[in-house]
């Protein structure tokens, strides 16, 4: 259901055709936002989501591009502003996770994660810092693995720790602009990104890590994003660990 505080606001969601990204898009649409659904490779999925939104009376467009390519992302911001008149919220859910012990990690995989997770977050944050309207919000994505230090997640956790640092410093740099900048750090969440390559025993073990003894759902994470995007005007320069109580 839309609210008077969010109706008319515009959001750009990178990775908007993915598991958490799609849930974020649908949650913001329910709150009355117009949403640009960004995709990197799955154009058909993004366009299907946009068609579904239009059929239910919502307003959305699909836009493509590599988040680490500043020209492609400038075009994505331009397209969003052309379609909706401006941008109030940028949610950067785009990211990749490649797991390996540090001792044996392929440096090519390290570079791939660095490009998408760190450079991509920097490019999107830099553009958002210059384009988001007064009263807006920038929301990046970290991970609860930065706290739990699970084996094989070293390079991924390092990339997300960099995103946290970028996010918290940007919040201070935007002093006086009335734009909040925060990071969401999900715990284990039932998405293809998380489930891919894990056997049932591993999934069961990770499920038990939270006191609530279940995996997070994309909708759980989207609730936190909606809070930061709209009503949470006094939450700024923070990393919000959305993980069901996992340490």
Task: Please check the confidence at residue 198 and state whether its pLDDT lies above 80.
Answer: no
- Strand pairing report for 59-64 and 89-92: unpaired
Give a yes or no: residue 147 inside a domain.
yes
| Burial environment of residue 118 by CB neighbours within 10 A (0 to 12, 13 to 18, 19 or more) | buried
> What is the arithmetic mean of pLDDT over 226-241?
97
Give a yes or no: residue 84 inside a domain.
yes
Give a yes or no: residue 5 inside a domain.
no
Parent domain of 67: 10-242
Shortest CA distance to 170 belongs to which of 161, 178, 162, 181? 181
Give a yes or no: residue 71 inside a domain.
yes
Task: Please check the confidence at residue 10 and state whether its pLDDT lies above 90.
Answer: yes
List the catalytic residue out of 33, 39, 153, 156: 156
Give a yes or no: residue 4 inside a domain.
no
Q: Count CA atoms closer than 13 A to 10's CA, side-chain side.
A: 20
Task: Please check the confidence at residue 209 and state whether its pLDDT lies above 90.
Answer: no
Q: By mean pLDDT, which of 32-36, 83-87, 132-136, 212-216 is the weakest?
A: 212-216
> Per-residue pLDDT tens for 127-181?
999 999 999 999 999 999 999 888 999 999 999 999 999 999 999 999 999 999 9
Residue 213 belongs to a domain with what CATH number? 3.40.50.720
Give a yes or no: residue 177 inside a domain.
yes
Give a yes or no: residue 156 inside a domain.
yes
Give a yes or no: residue 2 inside a domain.
no
Question: Which tokens go with 220?
Answer: 């759980």
> Per-residue pLDDT tens for 58-101?
999 999 999 999 999 999 999 999 999 999 999 999 999 999 99
Domain count, the chain: 1
| Residue 156 a catalytic site member | yes
pTM (two decimals):
0.94
- Check residue 92 and give its pLDDT: 98
Mean pLDDT of the chain: 93
């Amino acid at each position: 259901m839309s609210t008077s505080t969010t109706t008319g606001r515009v959001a750009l969601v990178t990775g908007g055709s993915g598991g958490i990204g799609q849930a974020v898009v649908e949650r913001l649409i329910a709150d009355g936002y117009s949403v640009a659904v960004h995709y990197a490779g799955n154009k058909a999925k993004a366009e299907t989501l946009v068609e579904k939104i239009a059929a239910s009376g919502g307003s959305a467009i699909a836009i493509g591009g590599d988040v680490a390519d500043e020209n492609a992302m400038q075009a994505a911001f331009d397209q969003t502003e052309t379609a909706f008149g401006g941008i109030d919220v940028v949610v950067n859910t785009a990211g990749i996770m490649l797991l390996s012990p540090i001792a044996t990690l392929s440096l090519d995989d390290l570079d791939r994660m660095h490009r998408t997770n760190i450079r991509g977050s920097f490019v999107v944050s830099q553009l958002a810092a210059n384009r988001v309207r007064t009263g807006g919000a920038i929301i990046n994505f970290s991970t609860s693995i930065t706290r739990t230090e699970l084996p094989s997640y070293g390079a991924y956790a390092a990339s997300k720790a960099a995103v946290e640092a970028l996010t918290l410093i940007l919040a201070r740099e935007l002093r006086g602009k009335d734009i909040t900048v925060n990071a969401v750090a999900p715990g284990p969440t039932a998405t293809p990104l998380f489930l891919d390559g894990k056997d049932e025993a591993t999934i069961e073990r990770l499920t038990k890590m939270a006191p609530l003894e279940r995996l997070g759902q994309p909708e759980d994470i989207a609730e936190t994003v909606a809070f930061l995007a709209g009503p949470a005007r006094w939450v700024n320069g923070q990393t919000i660990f959305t993980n069901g109580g996992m340490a």
